[in-house]
Amino acid sequence: MTKSQNIKVFVINGPNLNLLGIRAPEIYGTETLADVEVMLEAKAKDIGATLSFYQSNHEGQLIDWIHVARTQADGIIINAGGYTHTSIALRDAIEAIALPTFEVHISDIHAREDYRKKSFISEVAVKMICGQGTKGYSLALNELVDHCRASR
């Protein structure tokens, strides 16, 4: 697939990511979710991707968007927030749709509290990017687009 063949990506953010920039800035930084979206849009334009952004604090809504992605996207970038460590339902939804999914975490979940070290999402994701700050979203976008192009 060439750059001219657009890759459609759903960027899904889970609970409390709407508070990015004000919640625990010493862990998550001061950039807002809107800042992340602007950064990703610029990157997407450069690499030939189209993005759709979603954020919810509700697990069922996240699952519904994953289901929609099955027919409307080539891949998913997801930061499931706290649901990363608790939601088998999100894990199962990602597995069921069989789209390449890249998991992102702003902080290094492996260097945090014990309960944050287990990710159900990573069991079905192509790759997890964590501990890179909001730059992790951009890294995930690059790798997801490359992955999609290589798979066609």
- Residues 47 and 54: their CA atoms lie apart, in Å, by 21
18 belongs to a structural domain: yes
- Average of pLDDT values for 46-60? 98
pLDDT computed for residue 3 by the predictor: 52
105 is catalytic: yes
Q: Extract long-range pairs of 33-41: CB within 8 Å, 24+ residues apart.
A: 35/134, 36/134, 36/137, 37/11, 39/134, 39/137, 39/138, 40/11, 40/137, 40/138, 40/141
DSSP states along 57-119: S-HHHHHHHHHHHHHH-SEEEEE-GGGGGT-HHHHHHHHHHT--EEEEESS-GGGS-GGGS--
CATH code assigned at 119: 3.40.50.9100
95 belongs to a structural domain: yes
Containing domain of residue 127, as a range? Answer: 7-151
67 is catalytic: no
Which pTM was predicted?
0.95
| Counted domains in the chain | 1
pLDDT computed for residue 95 by the predictor: 98
94 belongs to a structural domain: yes
Is residue 5 very low, low, confident or very high in pLDDT (cuts 50, 70, 90)? Answer: confident
Q: Which residue has the tokens 């706290």?
A: 82
Of 28, 54, 83, 137, which one is the catalytic site residue? Answer: 28
| Average pLDDT score, the chain | 96
Contact 37, 101 (CB under 8 A): no
40 belongs to a structural domain: yes
Of 54, 83, 105, 137, which one is the catalytic site residue? Answer: 105
91 belongs to a structural domain: yes
Is residue 1 very low, low, confident or very high in pLDDT (cuts 50, 70, 90)? Answer: very low
2 belongs to a structural domain: no
